[in-house]
Amino acid sequence: MSVFNGLEPILVWKYFNEILSIPRPSKREEKITKYLKEFAEKHKLEFEKDNCGNVVIKKQGVGNNNRKNAIVLQSHMDMVCEKNSDSVHDFYNDSILPIVKDGWVMAQGTTLGADDGIGMAMQLAILASDNIEHPPLECLFTVDEETGLTGAFGLSTKLLSGRKLINLDSEDEGEVYIGCAGGKDTVITMFYDKEVCDKNSISFNVNVRGLKGGHSGDDINKGRGNSIKILNSFLLDVLRKISLQISVFNGGNLRNAIPREANAIVTIQECDKEQFYKIVSEYQKTIRDKLGNREPNVSISITETKLPEFRMEKNSQQKLLNSINSCPNGVIKMSEEIPELVETSTNLASIKFNADNIIEIVTSQRSSVESEKEGICNVVFNVFSQNGANVNHTDGYPGWKPNTDSELLKLGERCYENLYGVKPKVKAIHAGLECGLFLEKYPDMDMISIGPTIKGVHSPDERLNIESVLKCWEFLLEILKRV
């Protein structure tokens, strides 16, 4: 029996439940693609896939709208795969296990994948129904939105005929989005020297845990802790008082998620052990006081561990710690045109110690102003290059410039007000959406983005509001009826 039994709309929850059973990490969408193909065949619908792996399923109009031009509904197939450190979930093989609690749906220790599984479910519910009035539909499902926007970059210019598109990847019901930030990643490679550990030293595993994490665009202005910055600050604090050397420093996972956890293996002198424990206790209080109610569960813990064979040479270590300390993180500038909108930000996303004395660091920059995006990318470049690192930028993706004269926006405002008696909020979002890239492929495309309320996106705290799914569904059907 599904945990979604009794929830409305029945068809949406049916397909969402099926989607949760299918592993769909970014760049590994073959299983969900197979599912979509079988769905189209079952319902005798046209199925097409472009060279990039994007899928479109087409359906003739139903009711009075049958002869109108097609409208495009769009979501992405992949999901962010984040889990708690104690979870044994295998995102490549296991189903997501949903829980319904207090009006929300969440998963057991992992991301839920409502981003953007619930958008997919709404598309499939409309395609499967014979009782919903709508114009001809082109339901577009893109690949690899979360780690590279690969599907949007490679979208065939011949795949779509419709020139009105509703993106179903927003995360606040009652809001209509008409713009988003552009982004670019800055990837750093540092080479370091190492030395054999002193046999008279002792080793500890240092862990930073309990942070909320979240979406590096949508949550970047909420003052949440960055595990990498916290651990780095702690190590610098220790070095002001006693000798310490790093053997391993790992933190974060995905470029578009605020890092929740980080750990380091460090060595100290036996004689400094008591003082080290004291420094940990003091710093734990310091970081909790600093973050307050924003991060009530943050913790720094240490466990004595087996002495590693090697550790970083001190000069290499200082360059690494100085670089991370100087690297900007968080909101850089707020928009002067749209209240409460972050204009420019940067996220120190991950650090990994790899083989062959290589450290890989990934940062992500976003801005709705192209020159500001390039500016913060250059700041990050300078911080690390001055410490001898190799720094490279990805190609990035464009923003989506708001169009307040959009016909689809005006229709959406009327439909929402007819349904609920109030106008929806019209916004731009600091997170990246695929719409900016769609405009490059189809310059005359009229677009809006809507979706139900999802909190904790890109973290194991991801949760989907049940009531908002029904309201978003009703809103979408009203637009399709009147478009």
CA distances from 191 to 16, 108, 253, 384, 391 (A): 45, 38, 20, 12, 12
Question: Taking Cα atoms as reference points, which of 289, 213, 297, 284 lies closest to residue 251?
Answer: 213
78 catalytically annotated: yes
Selected catalytic residue, list 78, 138, 446, 462: 78
Tell me 71's DSSP state: E
In degrees, rounded to 5, the angle at the alpha carbon of residue 139 between the alpha carbons of residues 435 and 148 is 40
Q: Which residue in 82, 116, 145, 173 is the catalytic one?
A: 145
Strand partners, 73: 139, 166
Tokens of residue 377, six digits: 């990318």
Helix (H, G, I), strand (E, B) or coil at 16: helix
* CA gap 341, 474 in Å, rounded: 27
Enter the tokens of residue 246. Answer: 């790093």
46 is catalytic: no
Report the relative pairing of strands 330-334 and 299-305 from DSSP bridges: unpaired
- What does the longest C-alpha to C-alpha distance in the chain come to? 83
Overall residue count recorded for the chain in this entry: 483
What sign results for the dihedral spanned by CA atoms 210, 239, 321, 197? negative
Nearest alpha-carbon partner for 60 in 129, 128, 137, 8: 137
Active site residues: 78, 145
